[in-house]
């Protein structure tokens, strides 16, 4: 019997994924976690065949949480199932150790196909993402400005570009307003920008929002 851990801060979404996997992969035992810390606790306490995780959760950033999982269990396959488009986070998550990346808009059949491939030791990427990954590994390609940001800075950039205020971002990631303001300042400095409008314009041009 397979043991799969579903990690997402929305119980209704976890329930939907659980129903799909129970129907398509039976026999399977499903565990659930609502945030990064709960996921790490369960990874340490129990043996899992696969983790299916979201990126945006309370606590750590997606890449940070994924790195922690891989440090605890290097051979544990992790499939990222996120609301974020591939252009936003896929490459960062693969660099952090993901074995597959899928958007929540994907059909249930694609989710099952991705899980089977990852559990068989492969990596799952869409054709479009495969091309992007190929380009990023080519030598001599200049790094885009946003790729020089830390994982948390990049997360804040995407929130700013989507129109969220500092207070809304702080609440979403469970950090103080002061801390988010500090990240915003670092983003502006690293990217040589002056205000949120420039951040938003850049993110739209790069397809990050």
**CATH at 127:** 3.40.50.2300
The CATH number of the domain holding residue 173 is 1.10.10.10
Residues 160 and 127 in one domain: no
pLDDT band at 148 (very low <50, low <70, confident <90, very high): confident
| Phi, psi (deg, nearest 5) at residue 51 | -115, 130
Residues 190 and 153 in one domain: yes
Residues 7 and 60 in one domain: yes
pLDDT band at 83 (very low <50, low <70, confident <90, very high): confident
pLDDT band at 132 (very low <50, low <70, confident <90, very high): low
Residues 72 and 9 in one domain: yes
Task: Output DSSP code: residue 92.
Answer: H
**Between 66 and 209, the higher pLDDT residue:** 66
- Indicate the average pLDDT of the chain: 87
Nearest to 58 by CA among 175, 173, 179: 173
Mean pLDDT of 103-118: 90
Residues 116 and 161 in one domain: no
Query: Domain range holding 164?
Result: 145-205
**Alpha carbons 7 and 53: distance in angstroms, whole number:** 5
Among positive and negative, which fits the CA dihedral 19, 42, 56, 154? negative
Residues 132 and 152 in one domain: no
> Are the C-beta atoms of residues 117 and 123 closer than 8 Å to each other?
yes
| Phi, psi (deg, nearest 5) at residue 84 | -75, 135
Look at residue 11 and tell me whether its pLDDT is greater than 90. yes
Q: What is the pTM of this model?
A: 0.70
Identify the weakest region by mean pLDDT among 38-42, 77-81, 83-87, 89-93: 83-87
Q: Which of 81, 116, 136 is the last residue of a domain?
A: 136
pLDDT band at 135 (very low <50, low <70, confident <90, very high): low
Q: How many domains in the chain?
A: 2
pLDDT at 101 (0 to 100): 92
* Sequence-separated (6 or more) residues with CB below 8 Å from residue 56: 9, 62, 82, 83, 84, 155, 172
pLDDT in tens, 87-99: 778 888 888 899 9
Mean pLDDT of 149-156: 89
**Between 93 and 57, the higher pLDDT residue:** 93
pLDDT at 140 (0 to 100): 47
* Sequence-separated (6 or more) residues with CB below 8 Å from residue 195: 188
Residues 120 and 56 in one domain: yes
**Between 137 and 57, the higher pLDDT residue:** 57
| Percent of the chain as helix, strand, coil, to the nearest 5 | 55, 10, 30
Whole-number Cα distances in Å, 7 to 15, 68, 145: 11, 14, 30
């Amino acid at each position: 019997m397979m043991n799969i851990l579903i990690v997402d801060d929305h119980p209704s979404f976890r329930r939907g994924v659980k129903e799909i996997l129970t129907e398509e992969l039976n026999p399977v035992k499903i565990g659930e976690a609502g945030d990064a810390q709960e996921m790490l606790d369960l990874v340490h306490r129990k043996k899992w065949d696969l983790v299916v995780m979201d990126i945006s959760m309370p606590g750590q950033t997606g890449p940070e949480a994924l790195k922690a999982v891989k440090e605890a269990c290097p051979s544990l396959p992790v499939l990222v199932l996120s609301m974020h488009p591939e252009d936003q986070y896929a490459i960062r998550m693969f660099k952090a150790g993901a074995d597959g990346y899928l958007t929540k808009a994907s059909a249930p059949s694609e989710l099952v196909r991705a899980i089977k491939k990852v559990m068989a030791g492969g990596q799952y990427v869409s054709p479009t993402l495969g091309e992007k990954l190929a380009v990023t590994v080519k030598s001599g390609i200049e790094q885009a400005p946003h790729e020089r940001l830390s994982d948390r800075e990049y997360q804040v950039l995407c929130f700013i570009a989507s129109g969220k205020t500092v207070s809304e971002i702080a609440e979403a990631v469970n950090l103080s307003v002061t801390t988010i303001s500090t990240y915003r300042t670092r983003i502006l400095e690293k990217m040589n920008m002056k205000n949120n409008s420039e951040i938003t314009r850049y993110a739209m041009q790069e397809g990050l929002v």
